[in-house]
Amino acid sequence: MLNDQELLRYSRQILLQHVDIDGQLRLKASRVLIVGLGGLGAPVALYLAAAGVGELHLADFDTVDLTNLQRQIIHDTDSVGLSKVDSAMRRLSAINPEIQLVPHRTALDADSLAAAVTAVDLVLDCTDNFSTREAVNAACVAAGKPLVSGAAIRLEGQLSVFDPRRPESPCYHCLYG
């Protein structure tokens, strides 16, 4: 059920035939893990919060640096020195206080990554290193959770979707391992 505030907040996307009330309710019931709150994870988190994804799990062990600000748009000057998760939570709460935010402020080891992946419906890998990508992929395959993997290097980008629930879907390791 959407309350009056939510109906007003999401009215423009509810009007879209491919979203409507049912789609907005599915967004509200969704739980998404975003691994990495840098150049890719920052705008992803902003848009998912604004769209009304009900629960965002935010994972990043880093702190905001002044050199991050021109590309990591979720953070601002007052966030320099804060954990990226705390900075993001502050901004996302201001954008949409209706959603739930679950912080993961430390590097996720095998056990905590497995638990984080199991707790969500979808995982977004917005990291910038292969060992983390491999670990996130392995956790998604083990838990049977879909993985959206994005990468941006200089002026180029990649986007891949892996869904271990589908037998014909490869995994990240199948392509890059």
Helix pair 110-118, 130-143: axis angle to 10 deg: 50
- Give me the pLDDT at residue 167, please: 81
pTM of the model: 0.94
Is the Cβ–Cβ distance between 35 and 136 less than 8 Å?
Answer: yes
pLDDT attached to residue 31: 98
Domain ranges of the chain: 28-176
What's the confidence (pLDDT) of residue 177?
A: 60
**CATH number, span 28-176:** 3.40.50.720
* Mean pLDDT per 10-residue interval, the chain, length 177 residues: 96 96 98 97 98 98 96 96 98 97 95 97 94 94 96 86 84 68
